[in-house]
Amino acid sequence: MIFESHAHYDDTAFDGDREELLASLKEHGIGTVINVGASLAGCRMTEELMERYPFVYGAMGVHPSETAQLDEENFRWLRSLCSLDKTVAVGEIGLDYHWLDPEPAVQKVWFERQLELAREIELPVIIHSREAAKDTLDMMQALRAGEIGGVIHCYSYTKEMAREYLNMGFYFGIGGVITFQNAKKLKEAVEYIPMDRILLETDSPYLAPEPNRGKRNSSLNLPYIAQTIARLKGITYDEVVEMTDANARNLFRL
């Protein structure tokens, strides 16, 4: 069965059909879903989803663009969510310089705090890094994130940068962008990254793969991503599904 390592089913884009959609995943071969919190409200909803659906696990964290909402009080609450049985990661956390809101200095403070939280409670991290390649790597090296472990979600940097994260023992979340015709740099990176370091993800409702590009994304699109990886790696679709499932279980200790 396919392991969906990154989706946001708490998003309002699913308000109309969340229940039917989640109930239909098994029959389409999707066995496990990590619902990733990106805001405090998203974390609250992630808790509800993982209580309700046996195959849904949670990541608890605040996305860099949402870090202005954090303070000491709600950070304590976030920590308590991280100790729930079905919470398997801290995330998504990181740096986003596409949107310089809040300013990088604020993003960095909460990235470091959440990395240290993950270290303390011994959970892997799910990293969001957009147009912030150098600062993300510098911080992760300085804070010895290799000891914490985790996945670089929606990996979008070069093969050279991939080598740095491989050296830290990190995994790479590969999603819909790999199916885009102009994703040359990413295709090179995926050819380079060993199969035992790749996870499948959608980032639903965002980043739908071809041939559904531009539409609302869901885990039902994961086969398009797995097929593209199979072609690039010269292995079968089933091998991609099996290996990425094993990789995710290994990382999230399931």
Sign of CA dihedral 167, 170, 176, 179: positive
In the complex, what is the shortest distance from the CB of residue 35 to Ni ion, in angstroms, rounded to a whole number?
10
Q: Look at the chain and count its residues.
A: 254
In the complex, what is the shortest distance from the CB of residue 38 to Ni ion, in angstroms, rounded to a whole number?
6
> In terms of CB distance, is 63 or 108 closer to Ni ion?
63
Within its chain, how far is the Cα of 138 from the centroid? 20
Q: Are 125 and 99 in contact (CB under 8 A)?
A: no
Cα–Cα dist 14/216, whole Å:
9
SS3 193: coil
Name the closest residue to Ni ion (Cβ): 203
Exposure of 99 in the CB half-sphere (CA atoms within 13 A): 11
In this structure, are strands 56-60 and 30-36 parallel, antiparallel, or unpaired? parallel
Cα–Cα dist 141/245, whole Å:
27
> In terms of CB distance, is 180 or 237 closer to Ni ion?
180
- Looking only at residues 193 through 232 of this chain, which bind Ni ion when binding is defined by CB under 5 A? 203
> In terms of CB distance, is 25 or 93 closer to Ni ion?
93
> In terms of CB distance, is 149 or 175 closer to Ni ion?
175
Q: Does 4 bind Ni ion (CB under 5 A)?
A: no
> In terms of CB distance, is 99 or 192 closer to Ni ion?
99
Q: What x/- string results for residues 144 through 183 when contact with Ni ion is judged by CB under 5 A?
A: ----------------------------------------
In the complex, what is the shortest distance from the CB of residue 137 to Ni ion, in angstroms, rounded to a whole number?
19
Cα–Cα dist 117/111, whole Å:
10
In the complex, what is the shortest distance from the CB of residue 154 to Ni ion, in angstroms, rounded to a whole number?
7
Footprint of Ni ion on this chain (CB under 5 A)? 203
